Every structure is written in structure tokens, then in C-alpha cells.
Amino acid sequence: MRPEITPEKPAPGCRKTDPLLVADGVSRVFGGLKAVDVEHLEIPRGVITALIGPNGAGKTTLFNLLTGFDNPDTGAWSFDGRDLAGVPAHKVSRLGEIRTFQLTKVLGMMTVLENMKLGARRQKGEKFWAALLPFLWKDQEREVEARALELLERFKLLEKKADYAASMSGGQRKLLEMARALMCDPQLIMLDEPMAGVNPALKQSLLDHILALKDDGVSVLFVEHDMHMVQAIADWVVVMAEGRIVAEGPPGTVMSDPAVVDAYLGSDKDRDLGDVIQTIRSSREFAPDESGVEVQRDDAVVAEQLAVTEMVEELAEHPEEKP
Ligand SMILES: Nc1ncnc2c1ncn2[C@@H]1O[C@H](COP(=O)(O)OP(=O)(O)O)[C@@H](O)[C@H]1O
Ligand SMILES: [Mg+2]
């Protein structure tokens, strides 16, 4: 059965039944531009949430803030009931909230296996004095290695364990980054554009892994431009534009909402993963009942975006008639 996500009508900032991450008044200004301006946002537990919106909407900046890689100008947020504002990135990941990057951050001059081991948390051998006393960490080292090998096998990267990460394709690095994120048994995994630059065969495998994470009880929050993929695997969709949350709800309703599509998704809606998605859709366990669900938007923002979209289209059709 699908967990009940929200007791309220879907609307920007609506309450969730059992939120894992809760953000309040989080803002970040870059040189006068409000890159993130989130009044209230709750990320549900145990499901896959997609964060979508045009380039420059503030998705990556929001990820950076919520994971301690950047500091907000205002705001507070909590993870699993624990206040996280001001907690640095390495501590955030120890608490079970872990993220991957839009541009992968695997270390090219280390082997695949070494990269994996870096993902483990609290390693005793990392302390200077302890490093000199192998009996303190040998067992743990073996455990970490066993876990790394198990994950590499699951991600079909075992053959590459002794290769330098730099020798891998962009898609394989994305897989490695995801496998590494799992080294510390996260509760929430945040993936920033996991599919960007990944070939179709690897996309299939990434999608399968994301769905498998949910089956393992890991909550997922991912940023993605491919709307078919979002439609296929997300249980909940949050739409961001100009730093704000402008719509949220189940994928079927949010993404068929013409105002959301026109204003925020533009040509992204036509991108297709074709067969991959068909396979996934047909293997989905539940077909969420979205009849009677209505999504509320921030109408002022939608109207503004629509006006701009229209103007751009007009200009494209009649370039000679500049306003
Ligand atoms: N480090 C930075 N310095 C200045 N401006 C930034 C920085 N990071 C992001 N921005 C700006 O903030 C806005 C949001 O960017 P980003 O979060 O990367 O958007 P998205 O991930 O949704 O494409 C953009 O206008 C971007 O140019
Ligand atoms: Mg981004």
C-alpha cells in the first residue's frame, strides 16, 4: 500500500503525515538575487520526491543549504526531528542525510574501491594515533571493504574496483557516486540530476537503483529534468521557480497541470526515455489514485511566468517585431 503522504490538499508548503525533512523560511541571496526563498517545505518519509523547475530555479542551492554545504541568510530546518541549521556537511551525512552532486565528485586519482571506502562513516583508522595501531581498526576496515564490494556488485561495478575513477564514463561515475552514498546507510538520499549525461542503458540501471532504494526504506529526493522519468518513478513532485516552491502534489496532477507545464517545464516535457519508462511504468506496484486531487499553485507567480513564456514565443515567431 502506498503510504499516505499528506492529510492536506496538495499546495506549496503543505504538511505531510510523517515528514523526514522540514524547512522553514530558508533563504539565500547571491549578489542581490534571491536564489532560494522557501517559506515552508516538508519532504515526506519513505517515498521518492522529485524537485523540478527550470534552470536557475534554485534547486542545487537548496540542496547545498539543506546538506550543510552552504549557509543560508535566514531559516531553519530539521532532519528526522533534529535541528540541522548550522550543522556542517560531514556531520549532516553522519546523521543519515546524504547527497550526490550535479557534477560528480568522485576522486579520479583514486581507485573505485578507494572511493567507496571514503563513503563509510566514522572510520577509526582516520584518527592519527589510531592509524598507528592497526588492531584498533583492522576489523572495521574488513567490514567496510566487504560492504563496498557488495555495493559495487549491486551496481555492476565490481570489475572496475581496481580502476582509477578517472577512467570511468560520466554515467559510471554517477553510479559510483550513488553506490558510495549508500556506504553509510542513509535515511535520505538526495540526488542532484542523477540522469544528466548518462546513456540510456545506464539510465535504466540508475532508475532501477532508485526504485530499489525506496524498497529498502530509504527516502529519496531527486532533481531531474526528464519529465518522463519524474512521472514514472516519483511519488510526489515539488516545483520550484525563482527560488520559491510554486506547486507540489502527486506527479499525475502536478505534471498535467497546463500552467505548471507551460510556465516551468517548457520543452522538457517532450523529452523521452521511451522504452525505459514503459518498462518501469508497467512494473510499478501501485497506480496511485489521483482522481479528485487538485493542485494549488501560487497564481501570481504562475501568471508572471506565463506572460514571459508567451512573450518569448511571440518573439520567436516574429523576431522582427521587437517590443
Ligand atoms: N555560488 C553562487 N554565486 C552566485 N550565484 C549563484 C551561485 N550559485 C548559484 N547561483 C545563482 O543562483 C540561482 C540558482 O542557481 P541553482 O541553485 O544552481 O539553480 P538550479 O539548480 O535550479 O538550476 C541562479 O541564478 C544561479 O546563477
Ligand atoms: Mg542545479
- Quick check: 184 and 196 in contact, CB under 8 A? no
| pLDDT value, residue 269 | 45
The residues pairing with 188 across neighbouring beta strands, listed in sequence order, are 97, 219
The cell numbers describing 24, all together, are 522553514
- Torsion, Cα 201 205 206 207, to 10 degrees, reads 100
Say what angle helices 200-215 and 170-181 make with each other, to 10 degrees: 10
305 lines ligand 1 (CB under 6 A): no
What one-letter code names the amino acid at 299? D
In the predicted structure, residue 306 carries a pLDDT above the cut 90: no
60 lines ligand 1 (CB under 6 A): yes
Q: What residue segments make up the domains of the chain, in order of their start? A: 19-106+184-298, 107-167
Where is average pLDDT lowest: 43-47, 78-82, 188-192, 271-275?
A: 271-275
| pLDDT value, residue 206 | 86
Please identify, by atom number, the ligand 1 atom nearest to the C-alpha of residue 58: 17
Q: Which residue has the cell 556488485?
A: 153
| pLDDT value, residue 112 | 93
Count CA atoms within 13 Å of residue 206 on its CB side.
28
pLDDT tens column, 192-241:
988 887 888 888 888 889 999 999 899 999 999 888 889 889 999 999 99
Average pLDDT over residues 287-316: 64
| pLDDT value, residue 198 | 81
- Quick check: 276 and 299 in contact, CB under 8 A? no
Q: Is residue 26 classed as helix, strand or coil in its secondary structure?
A: strand
Please identify, by atom number, the ligand 1 atom nearest to the C-alpha of residue 53: 22
pLDDT tens column, 77-118:
999 999 998 888 888 888 888 888 877 777 877 899 998 988
Concatenate the DSSP letters of all residues of 169-231 into one string: -HHHHHHHHHHHHGGG--SEEEEESTTTT--HHHHHHHHHHHHHHHHTT-EEEEE-S-HHHHH
C-alpha 4 – ligand 1 centre gap (Å): 33
| pLDDT value, residue 263 | 65
> Is the whole model's pTM more than 0.85, yes or no?
no
Q: Is residue 236 classed as helix, strand or coil in its secondary structure?
A: strand
C-alpha 60 – ligand 2 centre gap (Å): 4
* pLDDT mean across residues, the chain: 82
- The proportion of the chain whose per-residue pLDDT surpasses 70, expressed as a percent, equals 74
| pLDDT value, residue 153 | 94
| pLDDT value, residue 275 | 46
Burial 17-33 (b: 16+ CB within 10 A, else e): eebbbbbbebbbeeeee
Residue 113 has phi, psi (to 5 degrees) of -65, -40
Concatenate the DSSP letters of all residues of 78-116 into one string: EETTEE-TT--HHHHHHTTEEE--SS----TTSBHHHHH
| Helix and strand element counts for the chain (H, E) | 12, 10
In the predicted structure, residue 323 carries a pLDDT above the cut 80: no
243 lines ligand 1 (CB under 6 A): no
- The proportion of the chain whose per-residue pLDDT surpasses 90, expressed as a percent, equals 40
In the predicted structure, residue 14 carries a pLDDT above the cut 90: yes
Give the closest ligand to the alpha carbon of residue 59. 1
| pLDDT value, residue 132 | 62
Domain range 19-106+184-298, CATH class: alpha beta
C-alpha 71 – ligand 2 centre gap (Å): 17
